[in-house]
Structures are given as structure tokens and as C-alpha cells.
Amino acid sequence: MPRKAVWAQIMPMPGDDLVSLAQGYEAAGVEGLWAPQMFGAPFTTLAAVAPATRRVQLGTGIALAFVRSPLETACSAIDLDLISNGRVVLGLGSSAQSQIEGSFGSPYGKPLAHMREIVGMIRAIVAKGDTGELTELAGDYHRLDLSHFRLLHPPKRSHIPIVLPAVFQKACIQAAEIADGLLGHPLWNDAWIEREVIPSISAGLDMSGRLRRDFTLNISIFTAIADDRREAIEDCRATIAYYSQSPQYLRYFEEIGFGREAAAIQAAFAQGDHGAMTAACTDEMVESIAIVGTLDDVRTRVARRAAQADAITPVIPHYGLSPEKSAAYTRRIAEAFYG
């Protein structure tokens, strides 16, 4: 496949292990590292990595935008950008309403409008937080009195790239209109990207008056490279089922032809029946979303899926795998795409 920038994913772990992993990724030629937010903040993981690396970009992939003040998010990004000497990519996402309101106890609101407001406030704080020009930033969801606020140091950059994730078309359009990039959801399949994502990016760029080269599309892909295709499918099934459990995603699955399977998965999740969730995820659903097979097969399919992307983030199917299998799949991704 034509050379694409390749990103990897890192998780919290003991500090020495984390540093060793990040340095290994950097030495292997990986373009950037995403630290996701499941519950803990991703800034902590990236701050541990920043002083131990020199080149690799450091992305919050994805920080939950609605669970903290825009000021806190902006300051975290500014500090991390200073520590890393200007290598931060701020990924912000809305996540599922049930997680934001239930687990975090934060308001969700209308996610597109809420995200637009937060992005605008963060842009303003990064650009002018050290100048004394900011007084009040007010919107429908946040009101910040910054008349007495000053950053302790000028930002390393007056513009920190912001990347938004998306499942549906409107979020893709908004990302292309107001952000610097889009991190594609690993549930996307080939047809959805070609039919819905690419036209939506074009529409958003038209709204912002920018060209395609001004915007970065990075596609996350569940990837399982194995000589035994059946084994790879089975190893992906629990991960696809877990990521399909949000009722907010049902329309997506209906549009790609797996509405019945997704509805069964979501019903099983509501009952806490994880075995039934996995059983409802068919081989066809797994293979439509995840890319599985031999190294050559996977490279071919990834090239097709990422044909119009600028970067890829191959990630292993991490649910239910033994440490040994996780390590094996990680090594195969490195063999296929790094360096």
C-alpha cells in the first residue's frame, strides 16, 4: 500500500513499561501515539511519555470533551504541548450520552452544538490565554469569567491541532468545518467511508473555505493478522460486540446492513449478558468492520479502506484476549505497518 502515516495506541501502565513502549514506537517510525480516555484522563499518560520521546506526536485519542471545563482542557493541552515541545494533537469527543451523564455525572446536551462551543472556547484560550485579552467566554453550556485568568507561560504554539471523532455524517461535516482533523471510528467499514465519510468531509471543508490538504483524516481499524482466519475472527468478536452496544449507534448499523445484529447486542448489553452480546455478533459483522487474515490479506484490505485517508491507526481487538495473544497481534501490526 502507498505509505500512510501510522499511529499507535497506548494505555496507562507502569511508568518504565510505558516509556519503553513509547520509545519503541518512536524508533519504529510511528507518526503518533493516541492515549484514549476510558475513565482516567489521557493527559496523564501522555505527560509521562513526553519527556522520554523527541519526535512522535502525542494525541488525546479521544479525551471526553463534556466531562471537564473547557478551561481545564485547554490548560492541560497547553501544558502538555510545552512539556512535549509542541507535539500535542488534542482529540476531543462526545462519547455516549449514557457514559457522560451516568458514569461522569456531566451534562450532555446537543452534542454537535456542545462540541462546537467547547472547540471555540479552547481555541480562544490557546490563542490569547497569556495576553490578558480574554474577559468572558459564554455559550449555551459554559460561561467562563477569565477577566482575572492568566497563563503562567506563553503557549508553545498559538494553535494546537484539534481532532474530532465521528460515527455519523453530521459529525464528519462538523469536524471538517471546525477542526484540523477527523479520527475515524473503528466501527466504520469500507462502504461507509466511501459513501458517507468522504462526501461529508468535502461538505464541511466547503463550509470552512478550506482545501482537503488543510485537513487530516486518520482511520482507526480493528486489525487481527493471523494465518488462521477463523481464529482471528473469533478473537475480534467480543471487541466488535462491545463497541456496538450503544443504542446511539443503531442507525449506523442499520445503514450498513447489521441493524438486527446490533439490536440483539444492545438488548443483551442492557441485560448484562456478555455471552449473548458476543453470540449475536456474526462472522459477517466482524469481517465487515475488522480487517482479519494473513499479513498480505490485511495489507491489501487496509490499503482499500484507507485509500483516501492521510493516516491509519491499526488497533488490536483487545477485549477477552490473553496477554500473549495481545502481544502477538501487536507484533504482527508492527511487522505489517511500522518502519
Sequence-ordered list of residues with C-beta below 8 angstroms from that of 29, at least 6 positions apart, any chain: 6, 338, 339
Q: Is residue 336 within 8 Å of residue 298, measured between CB atoms?
A: yes
CATH numbers and ranges of domains, the chain: 5-337 (3.20.20.30)
Instruction: Report how far residue 304's alpha carbon sits from residue 297's, in angstroms, rounded to the nearest whole number.
Output: 11
Q: How confident is the model at residue 98 (pLDDT cuts 50, 70, 90)?
A: confident
Q: Find the mean pLDDT for residues 216-221.
A: 98
* pTM, to two decimals: 0.95
Instruction: Report how far residue 263's alpha carbon sits from residue 54's, in angstroms, rounded to the nearest whole number.
Output: 46
Q: Which helix (H) or strand (E) holds 164?
A: strand 162-166
* 46-93 pLDDT per residue, tens: 999 999 999 999 999 999 999 999 999 999 999 999 999 999 999 999
- State the number of CA atoms in the 13 A half-sphere of 335 facing the CB: 14
38: helix, strand or coil: coil
